[in-house]
Chains A and B, each alone.
Chain A
């Protein structure tokens, strides 16, 4: 059973560019959350997608947007990149359907460097 997968593993972008990160949730999961983890910090919640809609959003600007596809995979888009956007971007999957599940499974992350 494949866990949460993310692509690419790492990438380097220039200030002002746009980037798209991808996530495939664990089999059986229908909810995808995105977190940003700056160096030496804990993950910070960006937003969550369920049934192809944004369900919750953290304190991030509109430059951060996302999408969820019918197969539950998700994309995180960041426009007009800033140096401060350099971080590890984590995807976590879970399920809102069926029995209560407290665990959010995290992927290995995408390390984004903005120069």
Chain B
């Protein structure tokens, strides 16, 4: 079993839709949870960062962590064509500069 599982999609939605992206993990030591966005031929950029369990909101983006279920989610409200990218979940045990363990990534297309 891989440490982090993520449905690779692809996921195609109409503009304005609510998008839900999810990852599960097996290592209960993970405490720091991140979502990265990666456009084609670019490096990943950090979207959201959450420590331990709970919710975090930033504009149209909401990150949720449920440590009891080892399950994290990213919600995108009012999705835009510019949100079309691959979304990667990543996790680490101690945060900071420690190595990140990534999911496979979910390719999202938002159609105008």
* A50 CA / B97 CA spacing, docked (Å): 10
Using A103-B49, A107-B43, A109-B43 as known contacts, say yes or no to A43 and B102 having CB atoms under 8 A apart: yes
Q: How many residues of B contact A (CB 8 A)?
A: 26
Closest Cβ neighbor of A9 among chain B residues? B41
Other-chain contact of A95, B32, B43, B97, B100 (Cβ < 8 Å): B97
Say whether B59 faces chain A, with CB atoms less than 8 Å apart.
Answer: no
Closest Cβ neighbor of A91 among chain B residues? B43
Residues A28-71 near B (CB distance < 8 A): 31, 33, 35, 40-45, 48, 50, 56, 58
Residue contact A58 to B99, C-beta cutoff 8 Å:
yes
Say whether B95 faces chain A, with CB atoms less than 8 Å apart.
Answer: yes
Residue contact B43 to A90, C-beta cutoff 8 Å:
yes
Closest Cβ neighbor of A93 among chain B residues? B97
* Per-position 1/0 for B91-104, Cβ under 8 A of A: 00001111111111
Interface of A is mostly: loop
Using A103-B49, A106-B44 as known contacts, say yes or no to A42 and B103 having CB atoms under 8 A apart: yes
**Residues on the B chain within 8 Å of A21, using CB:** none
Residues B18-72 near A (CB distance < 8 A): 32, 34, 36, 41-46, 49
* A107 CA / B34 CA spacing, docked (Å): 17
Closest Cβ neighbor of A6 among chain B residues? B43
* A109 CA / B43 CA spacing, docked (Å): 6
Closest Cβ neighbor of A47 among chain B residues? B99
Residue contact B100 to A40, C-beta cutoff 8 Å:
no
Using A42-B6, A42-B88, A103-B49 as known contacts, say yes or no to A56 and B98 having CB atoms under 8 A apart: yes
Closest Cβ neighbor of B43 among chain A residues? A106
Using A100-B95, A102-B49 as known contacts, say yes or no to A44 and B43 having CB atoms under 8 A apart: no
Say whether A96 faces chain B, with CB atoms less than 8 Å apart.
Answer: yes
**B8, B45, B100: most-surrounded residue (chain A CB, <10 A):** B100
Those 6 A-B pairs whose CB atoms lie nearest each other, nearest first: A42-B102, A106-B43, A94-B97, A45-B99, A31-B97, A106-B44
A33-B97, A44-B102, A92-B100 are known; give 16 further A-B pairs, CB within 8 A: A35-B102, A40-B8, A40-B104, A42-B90, A42-B103, A42-B104, A43-B100, A45-B100, A56-B98, A90-B43, A100-B95, A100-B96, A101-B97, A103-B46, A103-B49, A108-B43
